[in-house]
Structure 1
């Protein structure tokens, strides 16, 4: 027996609220994990404690984890099985459901260095015991909750230990978090390391944004409703805007952010993934590969900015400085712990992209993300062409915003359709009105994103995970911009905290005669 092991033993929204009708659904009736061992590398770390274990506790409460699912932790920190079980319990506030208590009571733990063959020999022994005693049937899901630099070495070590090849009808999967490399070259190097142990069908790359209910609802919005598809094209759409705004700064993550920046942290993954779902062609089916095929086609249709003049005109970076109010004065990025006082790392990115296919040619796609902005929000807005006969309403429609369909990803998940309507009264005046839908109108509670990705990995549903060709194409889009910013000693534009970014971002969109939906 391995060291440390023990013997077995409805809220209203703006305007009139919409009540959604649906039958009650939960994980017990819909989706349930098969027998398997869930092995978490980095089991003593922050991601495991804050996200993975609470998500597992909720899944256990839903009945999604049968008794044949066993939790195995692997990390450098020395712990016994009992100490790991206690840490799992303490990560969940309050009393966990009975199945969570059973799951933690049966949890196993392996301590050791990630590059030490002895670690994987002990893991192999523990997994064999899980098969024999808990009925995990040779099925394994390895979750890499470690720093990204360890993804490749862990995969290589699993391959050398013979722990990556399934036997018979069993399955083995590897789940990894972003970032998937540092650029296209390092992403390919990481893929080579992963591929030394796993085939592509075994690799599940997580972007937890794709597991948010509103992001998934993009598929339902487009393909379950006949009213939207006829206007989802260049004939009706003037422009598309994607905004990912955060009010917080980097805080204690300055050291990490110095090596990452907003482009790698948000644009290369979250923004481009949401963009591809929003603009892709209808898939031939709702099979996972059909959906992922269309996402890749869309990414391939985005024309990379290759020429320096083109990059300078269509991509803006920025960095927040001290700002706010006298009562709430926020530090600048260079004042944050772990940040170089002369840092040129971007905390803000705005880009103008073009999708060169039959549906979207000529429709600019504006994307924007930043820290220390005035509001926390993530949204996708499709703005439609203005009507040709606004002069029919003299003096009433001046400054009237264009019609728009807005998908709110966070914090108030839902949809809004904005259109012109007559203001009550004797005069004929037109102003904008909204039809709003909120996810709070459903009786069912939206699951946490990590609940969804963990259960999908256990079940083997790759729809919300990212393929290798998606990763490579995403890097191909952002790499030339980052290389341009890194060279030439160009100063980085600055913006005060609690503002909507540098003036250059406003100028970028103003050149087209448009403005950001949130800009003041």
Structure 2
């Protein structure tokens, strides 16, 4: 039987490769091989709301192997059946695809629970025994990923136990990987320490640092938008781009997360990982291909060329939300949230300015902002172009015309908007802004997979393209650390009213150069 990929039955030219049989064809879905996933923190919010539903959806889409196994590790004294009942409830309530009993029954056959705490030797001994048993019972081939959905302070203990029990080493030809949730430390020093702890047990190519924003279809579409279309790349530079704004706004407050959030803040929680990664994708050069090595090389290169715009007092801002109206609801301010220290200086709004020192982006500021209790929930990237000289027009013809902009909407209404000037109908020559809009929900019949579906599958496939390496993490902290140190010496953050778009100091960052934040 010919397995070369050439079609020998249709008279096709020699050397022609049938895409339906070509393993390099990335249009075909890739199915994970024999494997299992161990979740530490399996009863936490992330597991309940994202991980378990994503695993079910992968199974429902036929992307997991028949013998896939999910092992939960926690302090509860559950039998396997009790864990399966818990997981079924989470999957049924939050799955993206239709819930089917036959799919669930097949998935549930591989569910196991191991009782233990992070400082419990016997618990990890039981986990090691369970992995060996599943290799025989379910045909996992000794391939396991360990998902650390736990506080970073517990990483050293868990990694030490995994190493002691041999869980990090499988039979010959198998793989063992570790998945780390953010935050990746709280500053550069702690990030390096964390990387050293994990790196002592797992090699770098087996470490998958989850940034769920990188798993979103619209984020991956940045690469397609830039490099598959001749329309945009020629103007994607300082000759045509005035500035770039990257926004992640939330309309909710801290609620019950006040204790967790205090001491972390908006900059550590969002800018260090999500927004700097988005900035790298927007600013990076074209990779030689879409392999993990090529993508990471270009992201690292652009981050190494990036610095904070100075002085920090004029290019960065922070704030805390005060009480006000969020839509039709009156909400309390941060200092009145239950469990929050009124004297805390932790920010709920952060904005910084970055500069990329290369030929493509010289002189183009990148403005990054995030906050809670803002005007609406939205994440977007706005590439704002330079103004046209308007030579044939007088001022009255273009007084309502703004700057051209390409806006990539990451959430919630995923898509792309192109803003440009168009003549207003009538006898007079008047130009006004109009939008050309592409929406994922209208253009494609299939709904986009959840980010965690893509990322979990990539872990099982050993596909690291969407996961930052340690060098990227450290470069991000190098950019943010000076801002955090500056803010620590400044006392209380500026107050801003809930339902608005942040503190006045953030508006002044752009106003100094005659610019203004977008109001999505």
TM-score (norm 1): 0.91
Deviation at 1:259, TM superposition (A): 2.1
Matched, 1:267 2:268: no
Partner of 2:260: 256
Matched, 1:60 2:68: no
* 1:91 counterpart SS class: helix
Partner of 1:35: 34
Partner of 1:194: 198
Deviation at 1:166, TM superposition (A): 3.5
Which residues of 2 match residues 432-447 of structure 1 at below 5 A? 432-440=433-441, 441-447=443-449
For 1:382 and 1:296, how far apart are their aligned partners in 2? Answer: 21
Matched, 1:310 2:311: yes
Partner of 1:131: 135
For 1:83 and 1:290, how far apart are their aligned partners in 2? Answer: 45
Partner of 1:89: 88
Q: Are 2:308 and 2:353, in contact at CA under 8 Å, matched by a contact in 1?
A: no
For 2:295 and 2:27, how far apart are their aligned partners in 1? Answer: 26
The 1:509–1:326 alpha-carbon spacing in structure 2 relative to 1, beyond 3 Å, is closer
Partner of 2:149: 145
For 2:428 and 2:308, how far apart are their aligned partners in 1? Answer: 50
Q: Which residue among 288, 291, 310 is the counterpart of 2:292?
A: 288
Deviation at 1:98, TM superposition (A): 1.9
* 2:124 counterpart SS class: helix
* 1:303 counterpart SS class: strand
Partner of 1:3: none
Partner of 1:474: 476
For 1:503 and 1:301, how far apart are their aligned partners in 2? Answer: 30
Greater displacement, 212-221 / 89-98:
89-98
For 2:67 and 2:102, how far apart are their aligned partners in 1? Answer: 15
For 1:397 and 1:354, how far apart are their aligned partners in 2? Answer: 31
Partner of 1:493: 494
Q: Are 2:319 and 2:496, in contact at CA under 8 Å, matched by a contact in 1?
A: yes
Deviation at 1:374, TM superposition (A): 0.9
Kindly report the root-mean-square deviation, in angstroms, between the aligned alpha carbons of the 2 structures. 1.7
For 1:328 and 1:286, how far apart are their aligned partners in 2? Answer: 46
Partner of 2:172: 168
Q: Deviations over 1:458-504 (max 9, x none)?
A: 111101111000000000000111011112x4331111111111111
For 2:293 and 2:354, how far apart are their aligned partners in 1? Answer: 26
For 2:361 and 2:136, how far apart are their aligned partners in 1? Answer: 56
Partner of 1:6: none
Q: Deviations over 1:230-280 (max 9, x none)?
A: 111000101111111111011110001102100001100010011001110
Deviation at 1:311, TM superposition (A): 1.2
* 1:77 counterpart SS class: coil
Matched, 1:239 2:243: yes
For 1:45 and 1:507, how far apart are their aligned partners in 2? Answer: 40
Partner of 1:112: 116
For 2:333 and 2:381, how far apart are their aligned partners in 1? Answer: 28
For 1:411 and 1:146, how far apart are their aligned partners in 2? Answer: 27
Q: Deviations over 1:150-195 (max 9, x none)?
A: 2222112111211112432111110111001111111111111101
Residue segments in structure 2 that go unaligned for 5+ positions in a row: 1-19, 21-25, 94-98
Q: Are 1:52 and 1:450, in contact at CA under 8 Å, matched by a contact in 2?
A: yes
TM-score (norm 2): 0.91
Between 1 and 2, higher relative CO (CA 8 Å, sep ≥ 6) is seen in: 1
Which residues of 2 match residues 378-389 of structure 1 at below 5 A? 378-389=379-390
The 1:424–1:352 alpha-carbon spacing in structure 2 relative to 1, beyond 3 Å, is same
Matched, 1:395 2:391: no
Residue segments in structure 1 that go unaligned for 5+ positions in a row: 1-22
Deviation at 1:325, TM superposition (A): 7.0
* 1:397 counterpart SS class: coil
* 1:153 counterpart SS class: helix
Deviation at 1:68, TM superposition (A): 2.1
Partner of 2:515: 514
For 1:360 and 1:152, how far apart are their aligned partners in 2? Answer: 40
* 1:173 counterpart SS class: strand
For 1:325 and 1:456, how far apart are their aligned partners in 2? Answer: 38
Q: Are 2:185 and 2:194, in contact at CA under 8 Å, matched by a contact in 1?
A: yes
For 2:304 and 2:27, how far apart are their aligned partners in 1? Answer: 39
Partner of 1:14: none
For 1:130 and 1:123, how far apart are their aligned partners in 2? Answer: 11
For 1:28 and 1:384, how far apart are their aligned partners in 2? Answer: 33
Greater displacement, 473-482 / 309-318:
309-318
Q: Which residue among 457, 460, 471 is the counterpart of 2:459?
A: 457
